Amino acid sequence: MMRRREVITLLGGAAAAWPVAARAQQPARVRRIGVLMSLTEDDPEDRRRRAALQQALQQLGWNEGGNLRIDYRWYGGEIARARALGKDLIELKPDLIVATATPGMAALAQQTRTIPIVFVAVSDPVGQNFVASLARPDGNATGLTFFEFSVMGKMLEALKQIAPAVSRVAIAFNPDTLSNPPFLRAIEAAAPTLAVELVKLPLGDAAEIEGAFATLARQGGSGLLFLPDPFIFTHRDRIVGLAARHRLPAVYSQRPFVAAGGLLGYGVDVTDLFRRAAPYVDRILRGAKPGELPVQQPTKFELAINLKAARALSLDVPSALLALADEVIE
């Protein structure tokens, strides 16, 4: 059964545990950081993330336009664009780069092993060789992870609870994202106990989405589970609309899908991860080595349910699931 979770990492809030006096020591020169964002500049979620980072940095004594310059680049979930914009940021020779999501971190890791990197919302930093270990990264990068692979089984379970007639679940993912295999294995491990057939639904091109959904809808008893990915998140409004049009129950990896009209969401607040990244940026700009700062894991997963979407699909939300929800959208 899915439960609201508090996942305490092995080193918890270690990022914030350094002397307050150190924060008050203002550097003599303007420092420069690059930020490689996974969405688009006009996306409301992107604006919230930027605001959270800038506000948290300001609280630590870093003021954009004063002692800090921030150069943003947006790759909109496109991996080739992430590589190009990562190169662009590296050529600016910043003091540090903040990388969003696995494609953004991968783009930077391929091009620099010297510029300090703070990553945000990366799924498998050890498996992707971005860091040596969570406890001691050792290289030029550290940051915050986004997901626990075991959560995928709970997402599948929640979908079956709210849509028990679903017998086939399409796992929607971007085939170009390197962190997919552990997610897929976790879902495959959970499927037998839930009596569902799994099918893979690669979505690496916006033009593929509508045709894939139409094909799936023609097969009765189908539902959808979306792996976390910037490309999928960038196209969330279109994806949610198509799922509704084709009457496909779906569970998503972040709350904004549910706010956009999606049925179920279970995941981490990425805006909060940006806020939590600021202390690492602060420490590194003041002289700390990224390789000595432990990678932090999510501390909270939230379940969101959209009752309007459930009614449109003629689904009754079980009271037990409603009781576990962190947010219910009417």
C-alpha neighbours within 13 Å on the C-beta side of residue 11? 16
Confidence of residue 327 (pLDDT cuts 50, 70, 90): very high
All domains in the chain, ordered by first residue: 5-146+269-298 (3.40.50.2300), 151-267+302-329 (3.40.50.2300)
- pLDDT tens for each residue of 167-217: 999 999 999 888 899 999 999 999 999 999 999 999 988 888 999 999 999
14-50 pLDDT, tens per residue? 444 444 444 445 556 899 999 999 999 999 999 999 9
* Contact between 172 and 180 (Cβ < 8 Å): no
Tokens of 38: 């996974």
Report if pTM > 0.85.
yes
Q: So what's the pLDDT on residue 14?
A: 45
C-alpha span between 305 and 326 (Å, rounded): 8
Identify the CA nearest to 199 among candidates 167, 155, 239: 167
